[in-house]
Amino acid sequence: MTKKQTILIISGGILLTAAGIGAYHLWFKDKDRTNPDLEKLQKDLGSTGGEVAKPSEDEYSSNIKQSGSYKGSSVIAIGDEGRKVALMQALLNHYENAGLKIDGLFGNATRLALLKTGFVRCTVAATCEISMTDLNKYLTKTKTDSTFNKNYSVSTNKQMKAVYDKYSS
């Protein structure tokens, strides 16, 4: 075998390997990310000593677009909509048996579920709001609760998937 043939074979092998890695990333890049909001909040919890940091700009990148009046805020209030509201509804369903429809809309049913769990700020609809820090007791449980992650993953929960599809680009 000549030097030229050896170089061609090695170059071809390198190109095929690079193509395979690129195809893997394109095909599987979001397959493992079943709940990006939950992962972001869990990361924030770990890096801020138990409190959720304010959302950063990268949270609203082209990969994770969200809408609702809470965008850029760590407070979710009645009338808001989006993936964080859906996450809050999932947390209330899982840990408080709230029986909410996960639709990403912070309406009266979600307000009443919060009121039942002791969020007295939700007594009056007009002033009902909750911070992500208030949800901390639930969010910290999700780090070790594989049942929550399995039941409310966008790949297994149709309601969560519908909300994520609606509020994603």
Task: Give the pLDDT band (50/70/90) at residue 56.
Answer: very low
Tokens representing 11 are 């170059």
Q: In angstroms, rounded to a whole number, what is the distance separating the alpha carbons of residues 159 and 153?
A: 10
Q: What separation in angstroms does the CA of 17 have from each of 13, 43, 77? A: 6, 32, 49
C-alpha 7: how far from its chain's center?
Answer: 47
Residues paired with residue 105 on neighbouring β-strands, in sequence order: 81
Identify the bridge partners of residue 48 per DSSP, sorted by sequence position.
none
pLDDT at 14: 81
Query: What is the rounded average pLDDT of the residues 49-64?
Result: 37
Query: In the predicted model, what is the mean pLDDT of the chain?
Result: 74
pLDDT tens readout for residues 128-157: 888 878 888 888 888 888 899 889 888 889
Q: How far apart are CA 123 and CA 100, in angstroms?
A: 18
For the cut 60, the answer to whether the pLDDT of residue 52 exceeds it is no
pLDDT in tens, 27-47: 555 444 456 566 665 555 544
